[in-house]
Structure formats: C-alpha cells, structure tokens
Amino acid sequence: MGSSGSAGDGANRESKLSIGPGGVLYGTTACCGVGRNYGTVFSLTPPASPGGNWIETILHAFGGNDGGGPGAVIVGAGGVLYGTTSFGGTDDFGTVFGLPL
C-alpha cells in the first residue's frame, strides 16, 4: 500500500478501523491534528486501481471544547459516523459525536 501520513494529520491511532461504503476506511488518532492537539477522525479511500495510493482525508480535528482523545468510530445509518471522546467537552468528561460522511 503506497501511503504515508502528512503534517497535522494526527498521531497515535489506537482504535480499530471501520469500513464504510465503497471500501472507505474510517479511524481516529488519539492526539495531534491541524492546529489542535486533541486527536482527529480520518478516512482512507482505496485506490482507483490496484497498487495505487490510498487517499487520506481529515474529517475532523478535535479542539478540546468539542472533545479529545476519540475512540473507535462506527458507520451508522444515513451516512453518519458516530463515536465518543475520552475527555473534553463541557465538563471535561468526554463527548458523543456524529459526523456526516
């Protein structure tokens, strides 16, 4: 697989990946992210042809107020990605989030 990370895309992937429509993989990083240091939600789109490069997209970078340290995500009905964070939010006890795909 010809793929590598890029600056600001997060660090420390700690959860399993989820697979969505079209074979797209979804996951999280526990820390870092563009201009924010609380983790990210990302997708990896498979190459158009075998042996090609996967395409990485940062779907969300957490900033603390909206959560931090996200765990695994699941692909829900209606094209929404759901997950939780271990800290951050109003009282720093974590958050539940949904991101449209």
Q: Tell me: the pLDDT tens digits for 37-87? A: 889 999 999 999 999 999 999 999 999 899 999 999 999 988 999 999 999
The domain total for the chain is 1
Is there a domain that residue 84 lies in? yes
Is there a domain that residue 13 lies in? no
In a domain, residue 6? The reply is no
3-class DSSP assignment, residue 23: helix
Look at residue 46 and tell me if it is in a domain: yes
Task: Give the pLDDT of residue 24.
Answer: 97
Residue 37: what pLDDT? 80
25 found inside a domain: yes
The model carries a pTM of 0.86
Say if 56 falls within a structural domain.
yes
Q: Is the pLDDT of residue 96 over 50?
A: yes
Structural domain including 27 reads 18-100
What pLDDT is stored for residue 4 in this prediction? 53
Quote the CA–CA distance of 60 and 42 in Å, as a whole number: 7
